[in-house]
Amino acid sequence: MSIFSYTWAIDQMATQQLACNNADCNFASDGKCVEGYEIEECPHAAGLSLEDIPEAEESDTPPAPPEPTIALASGEALDRDNASNLQRRNVSRSIGLIGPNDSGKTSLIAGVYDLLQDGPLSGAAFAGSSTLIGLEKVCHLARAVSQRAIPHTERTSRGADATFFHLDLHQEDVGLTSVFISDRSGEDYLAVTDQISQADQFFEIRRADCITLLVNGAQLANPKLRHEVKAATPQIVDALVEARAIREGCRLAVVLTKKDSVVVSQHPDRVQKDFDELVDSIIKTHAAHLGEVRSFVVAASPKDCEQVARGEGVTDLLLYWLRPNTPAVEVGDGAPPSFERMIDLLTDMGTEK
């Protein structure tokens, strides 16, 4: 019985309740009590018992389940929570890209993705991505279709939370590995050298399996900027290690970017020498804290492909990212790392008694 039918039956019985037991009363036709009573007070009005109310019929058909909701990925770069959820699905590697502004972080991400579109890189083949739209956006301005005279990538906004680009890569002897490459403004990383407490926000560095420090080759080849690069780059590592933002035993890749600018510079040998010394100083200072440290020279999106091939050095870096981590080795009694910055040396001298 439907709700409408059930309600109609109740109304009908309620009308019968108002029928009078007095044979001389015509309430059913004229609605008036022959003795002048209000119907609620009339002693002759018939009562309605619970037995007179029909039972509601229960339907044998179970209620329909709610329509399922499907959450579709936007295709844009992932925030912290979405990246964490995806990392649980497959074997994964988290890569923390750090470096000053314009060191080439976004260009490197675009270069890796673009090279994979041409085929496997040393056996690592593209197997999918949940951030295709984001990757296509960062690649667009470096492609001919953008109608730009030289490759270009948009700068990451300062102060914004880090996001992650996702790549699924397949290797015959390993299987599927998910790679998550972080992207944060270089200005934020540079600011930590002045205020170490800002390293607390770098969740992408604390969770990284491999930290990748980028050194701007074009600036290192510039006589006016050379010394600033040599000073600022290791200070970023100093600050992150001191703040314990980099896990003990974490691998580090130090990458000289923009090889095309280095090759055409007046002193390419000097640039390589400066870079090698920079890497050696980082190893010497943080050998007790860091795991393996390796150097790379890349040209992710060269302006001039006649001197340097597009993507040169990127494949070696990608294979380093894909390597599994080795367990951290306990060193000493947890002594704090040593630093060569004058401010740290002065602080140590001031605490001596």
Task: Supply 28's token pair.
Answer: 């059913």
The yes-or-no verdict on residue 131 having pLDDT over 90 is yes
The yes-or-no verdict on residue 144 having pLDDT over 70 is no
Query: Distance (Å, rounded) from C-alpha 126 to C-alpha 115?
Result: 10
User: What digits encode the pLDDT tens for the residues 241-290?
Assistant: 999 999 999 999 999 999 999 999 999 999 999 999 999 999 999 999 99
- In the chain, CATH 3.40.50.300 sits at 80-324
Topology annotation, domain 80-324: Rossmann fold (3.40.50)
Alpha helices in the chain (DSSP H): 3-17, 27-30, 80-87, 105-116, 132-140, 186-191, 203-206, 217-220, 226-242, 259-263, 268-286, 314-322, 342-351
User: What digits encode the pLDDT tens for the residues 26-78?
Assistant: 766 776 776 666 666 666 665 545 555 556 566 667 777 777 665 566 789 99
> CB burial class (10 A; 0-12, 13-18, 19+) of residue 330?
exposed
List the Cα angle 325/329/331 in 5-degree steps.
Answer: 145
**How would residue 139 be classed by pLDDT, with cut points 50, 70 and 90?**
confident
Q: pTM (2 decimals)?
A: 0.70
Higher pLDDT, 291 or 9: 291
User: What digits encode the pLDDT tens for the residues 317-344?
Assistant: 999 999 987 654 444 444 555 545 444 4
The yes-or-no verdict on residue 119 having pLDDT over 60 is yes
150 DSSP 8-state letter: S
Higher pLDDT, 67 or 111: 111
Answer whether 16's CB lies under 8 Å from 46's CB: yes
Query: Distance (Å, rounded) from C-alpha 190 to C-alpha 176?
Result: 35
Higher pLDDT, 97 or 148: 97
